[in-house]
Amino acid sequence: MYVLVMREAPPEIVDLADEYEDSYLVCLEDWSGEMQEAGDHKARWYRTMRDRGLRVKLAIGEDGRPIGLIQYLPIEHSPALGTDLYMIMCVWVHGYKQGVGKHQGRGVGSALLAAAERDTRELGAKGMAAWGVVFPFWMKSAWFKKHDYIQADRQGTQVLVWKPFTDDALPPRWIEPGPKPARVEGKVTVNAFVNGWCPACNLVYERAKRAATDLGNDVVFESVDTTEQSAMIRCGRSDCVLLDGKTVQKGPPPSYDHIYKMMAKRVAKLPR
């Protein structure tokens, strides 16, 4: 007796086209009202980086809509240092019930990664770098290691991995962390560093900015644009919001109410 096993067809992998741009800019989460809070940072980053070698590939589902994406660019425009390498900024396969539905665990991410590696090899890159986290959720470093990536550097929970394509490829390294910014005497100080590539980070930036404005003169909001790698090197940071020197985000983007309450507690402790 034979059992016929139906295997799911691999997704079609395509380059980003104009018809998919709006979906790409919100990380395929067109259904999410939260994404409207993220501002136009991603669009501005995309317009800048597409002229500097940014590549975006999409996995297309059976209904013709994108179900996954990978974006990568020359490492000289990323938070890592290296030569003749490309840096993967994000691999994302839609995993929510809303919108196009869940597509994780079906090999979509692996197909995107393989397509990106083929592309960068053809472009003459000596290797591919990527970042991941040690925790078992989005952008897991362990997932890359299953695809023959090895650790090149690490800062806290963030791991820099890479796959050399040539024998003379040199491993990348993280930009060195910078010192905490100085606080403004007698004020709650918010230092917000925004690169633009990630809507989740942009959400935190915009919510912190709004909360600081709503709390009035007791809060100083200092914004730093880190689109350029030179700014990342100078600040020792890419995307983060510091509240009196402490990081606001340690996981999914906190809500506006959560950020507002964090700031309000510090305002209440200011000397009067």
pLDDT digits (tens, 9 = 90+) for 112-128: 999 999 999 999 999 99
- Please give the average per-residue pLDDT across 216-220, as a whole number: 97
Give the pLDDT score at 5: 44
Domain positions in the chain: 12-174, 188-267
What does the mean pLDDT of the chain come to? 93
Mapping DSSP to helix (H, G, I), strand (E, B) and coil, where does residue 80 land? strand
Does 12-174 carry CATH code 2.130.10.10? no
What pTM did the predictor assign?
Answer: 0.92
Give the model's confidence band at 138: pLDDT under 50 very low, under 70 low, under 90 confident, else very high: confident
Give the pLDDT score at 107: 94
Give the pLDDT score at 208: 97
Angle at 258 between CA 255 and CA 260, to 5 degrees: 105
Looking at CATH, the fold of the domain delimited by 188-267 is given as Glutaredoxin (3.40.30)
Pairwise CA distance, residues 2 & 24, whole Å: 43
List Cβ neighbours of 72 (8 Å cut-off, separation of 6 or more).
54, 55, 86, 87, 88, 89, 116, 120, 128
> What are the backbone dihedrals phi and psi of residue 26, each rounded to the nearest 5 degrees, phi first?
-115, 25
Contact status, residue 163 vs residue 145, Cβ threshold 8 Å: no
Residue 40 predicted with pLDDT over 70? yes
Pairwise CA distance, residues 21 & 141, whole Å: 28
Give the model's confidence band at 134: pLDDT under 50 very low, under 70 low, under 90 confident, else very high: confident
